[in-house]
Structure 1
């Protein structure tokens, strides 16, 4: 989930950079701030934070250990 949000943030930062806009708040929504936010979200995703709740079932298909 965090990787999807990071991809959206990176896409938004790219659009801001391509259209050379600052949305009226140059210190709040600049490209570098959004890039840092996206990198933070990717790092949290790679660290395992924000994983989907699986309800205790971590395996797929047949249960392990059953012949």
Structure 2
């Protein structure tokens, strides 16, 4: 059977951004999370909108994380 590995949560909101660049960035983050995680790694993309703040977009996973020597990049 199929296993759900990607979940997208969103809030209502609007952001003035270059849609192509945003999509490319999100896809790269999701690809990396799936590539460097194990087969059961789950990835979540979420967007939250605070009343007085810009929307926050997060890509999180339950994989091993970025090795400390690569965090500065």
Coarse TM-score class (shorter-chain normalised): 0.3 to 0.5
Larger radius of gyration: 1
Structure with a larger share of its residues in strand: 2
Q: Name whichever structure is richer in helix by fraction.
A: 1
Q: Which has the higher contact order (CA 8 A, sep 6+)?
A: 1
State the TM-score, normalized to the length of structure 1. 0.34
Q: Report the TM-score when normalising by structure 2.
A: 0.31
